[in-house]
Copies of this chain bind each other. A is one copy, B any other.
Amino acid sequence: MLSAGLPQGAVPKLERPGPLRDRVYEALLELITTRALQPGQHLVESELAGHLGVSRQPVREALQRLNTEGWVDLRPAQGAFVHEPTEEEADQLLTVRTLLEAEAARLAAANADKAGVAALESLCVEGEKAVTADDVDTAVALNAAFHAKIMTLAGNTVLAELAAQVDRRVRWYYTPVARQRGRQSWIEHRELIAAITTRDEQLATSLMREHTEHTRRSYHERAQD
């Protein structure tokens, strides 16, 4: 017996660094979403490589992935540029997000079990707490977690992956808005939980649709300021 004296599952699995390109990818994505790298900025491979302490190759691979996912534009023989969101694109992206999220809500209503609903409620409570405490960062994170949980409950992997990508970009475009729309958002979440609990697919769908549409409206109102 090899596993004789070992503390069951507590073996840390020998945390491997994992492919370098992935870490570069995450680092760059972080830099982009936090606006450290601004839209339109020219990303020079050798610069990034030097700055991150790696070679150009992993940087290239990360940039290519970012390109396919719409974060950077890769102009041939010229290099990578941080994608510049347009009004139109943001709107289209939100349309798609509404679609995906609404479907997820429907599937979640169809599939959710007690444990799932309990998890949602727990997140909701935490979220309301964060809003009350004016802890915006936590509130935003919990909001993302809430939507992610619904995706999980929907049980559709393909849908989840697409939604994850779209969601992240939407959050990028709409960060200023998301930070405003705190309390109302969690009220709508509660209604959604109720619909899921009672297995009302129709209601869950339309609630989620309304919910994301509210975000769109907030954005356009804000844009007029």
Contacts and interface: CB of A to CB of B under 8 A. Distances in A.
Output the residue of A21, A158, A166 with the most chain B CB within 10 A: A158
Nearest to A62: B64
A76 B22 CA distance: 11
A100 interface: yes
Contact of A157 (B19, B60, B92, B158): B92
Contact of A64 (B65, B76, B100, B159): B65
A116 to B, nearest CB: 18
Contact of A18 (B68, B69, B76): B76
B157 A96 contact: no
A100 B163 CA distance: 12
A161 to B, nearest CB: 8
Interface string A55-98: 00000110011001100000010000000000001001101100
A96 B64 contact: no
User: SS class of chain A's interface: helix, strand, loop or mixed?
Assistant: helix
A99 interface: yes
Copies assembled: 2
Nearest to A65: B68
Contacts of A166: 158, 162
A103 B103 CA distance: 12
A184 interface: no
A156 interface: yes
Nearest to A90: B158
Contact of A159 (B60, B76, B92): B92
A101 to B, nearest CB: 11
Given A89-B158, A92-B159, 16 more contacts: A18-B76, A19-B76, A60-B61, A61-B61, A61-B64, A64-B64, A65-B65, A68-B68, A68-B69, A89-B157, A95-B103, A95-B156, A95-B158, A96-B158, A99-B103, A162-B166
16 contacts: A18-B76, A19-B76, A21-B64, A60-B61, A61-B64, A64-B65, A65-B65, A68-B68, A92-B159, A93-B158, A95-B158, A96-B156, A96-B159, A96-B162, A162-B162, A162-B166
